[in-house]
Amino acid sequence: MKKKIFLPEYSSLCYIYCMAKDSGITLISPYSDISSIGSRILSSVLKKDKIPVRLLFIPHTPSEKMKSDSDDYFFSENTIREVASFCKVSDFVGISLMTHYFDKAVQLTQKLKETSECKIVWGGIHPTIRPEECLDHAHIVGIGECESSIVELILNGKENQNIRNFWFKTQKGIIKNDLFPLTENIDELPFQDYDLEGHFVYDEPSGKILPMDIDLLKTYLDLGHISRIKNQTAYQTIASRGCPHNCSYCCNNAISMLYKGQKTLRRRSNGNIISELSMIKEKFPFIKVIGFSDDSFFAASAEKIGEFAEIYKARIDLPFFCLGSPLTITEEKLKLLIPAGMFGIQMGIQTGSSRILDMYNRKITNRMVLETSNLLSKFKDKITPPVYDIIIDNPFETKEDHIQTFQLLNGLSKPHRLQIFSLVLFPATALYDKSVEEGFITDDKTQIYRKNYHQRKSNYINFLFGLYRQNIPTWILKPLSSKAAVNIFQRKMFDGLFSLLYKGFRILKGQVS
């Protein structure tokens, strides 16, 4: 896999590394958080087979303004230029993308095709659910979990196009290969690649790609969500793959249909998890917090959680954050995990409407949510306020559905934090299909690909959700969220007013400039 080496302009260290290695593959993570668990595991798989691999992270990169009224979803011209030059030494360039990163992936791919002869591979959730669309741009797409075949792709992918989990675009059409079964024992997968060798980051302040070192690693890890919760450097990992639920709006819904009949929820052994964390703790003493990014860390049995808590406390003994749900959180599990170091938890509520809960395929009742909230309140002196997630801007919701959600929020134990996410109707999910059928989705690019979770419609309902997020006293919120108030103020004529009111409120609280 030798080829003429291109001399980048960034640094001598970058050049020396490229000269010392075969060209191999560059894996690009465009996400704002450099944790990038999937890309790091793929890098470890490749390194295990002695395949030259570079990891390039492009976090918090400023974007060019779009010509539409939507949020911008493009890299700056400087970013594209630097990344394209960096990738000229590679035989393959792999780009990981979720749906919101589609425009960035297209923009980068177009530049790479202009400046190099590398094969461009897209992987991640969006290529998995929309492979043919992605092949309009990439040469190859990876579908599903690709650890079983990534090595074969890099070794033989230019000559052999019959490689499982990958689709190829050829002059004769698209070659669609079958999937490998899911890896049942995920202990077989290597740990995430944190060697730093061959790791690079696009550094926005300098506008250059820099070799990753300890200082840069800490700087960018500190920008992560969990680091900011605790104000300490966090390391993110997963104890399991898959989800015990099958919510109709979630990408796990699409994955479960792709791997129908297979066990999608798989958990690593406690020994395997602890071995990874022990290695990281020893290698990077500045890491003071662990974040488990599993869809539901609490889905394990009480016995497994008890065993984990005992070993974790003895060998790791760092505070950790995780996710759970009213179906899996129990007092027994909390009493095991909190003494072991669990300082915070995030839980999805999504809605208080029984009708919308059915539409979301969530087997959770308001009573279960309130019971779990009361349970977490019993430990309020030992954990940070729990984080509850709510979905807004569902086109199927009525005023009555909103009022039921407000009633649920009024009953939650305090203190707590509320996270509000505007509904994104991801392709290949059951709720997306229903939305297309009902005519709510007419343009995927503007309504989905370029819609941010934190965008929200300007109206009275969302003004109220914003007030709930600001922990306004319940005695004020109850009359504001009453049926009478909603009927009066949830009218188009008031939309602009409440948008200005909420922005003014946030300015007073110092949340926006």
Return the pLDDT at 509: 65
Angstrom distance (rounded) from CA 467 to CA 189: 44
* Mean pLDDT, range 70-90, rounded to an integer: 87
Q: Which of 165, 185, 188, 192 is nearest to 176 (CA)?
A: 165
Whether 14 shows a pLDDT value over 80: the answer reads no
Angstrom distance (rounded) from CA 323 to CA 391: 17
Do the strands 387-392 and 417-422 form a parallel or antiparallel pair, or are they unpaired?
A: parallel
Q: Residues 428-453: pLDDT tens digits?
A: 999 999 999 999 999 999 999 998 88
Would you place residue 66 in the very low, low, confident or very high pLDDT band (cuts 50, 70, 90)? very low
Helix (H) or strand (E) holding 119: strand 119-123
| Rounded-to-10 torsion of CA 140, 141, 147, 153 | -10
What is the value of pTM for the model shown? 0.90
State which of 31-35, 163-167, 502-506 shows the largest mean pLDDT.
163-167
Whether 20 shows a pLDDT value over 80: the answer reads no
Give ∠ CA 281-196-143 in degrees, rounded to 5: 100
Angstrom distance (rounded) from CA 56 to CA 83: 9
Would you place residue 72 in the very low, low, confident or very high pLDDT band (cuts 50, 70, 90)? low
Return the pLDDT at 495: 79
Domains and CATH numbers, the chain: 12-188 (3.40.50.280), 224-451 (3.20.20.70)
Angstrom distance (rounded) from CA 139 to CA 152: 16
Whether 508 shows a pLDDT value over 80: the answer reads no
Residue labelled with tokens 């090595």: 151
* Mean pLDDT, range 84-113, rounded to an integer: 96
- Burial (CB < 10 A; 0-12, 13-18, 19+), residue 322, is buried
Q: Which of 152, 130, 151 is nearest to 141 (CA)?
A: 130
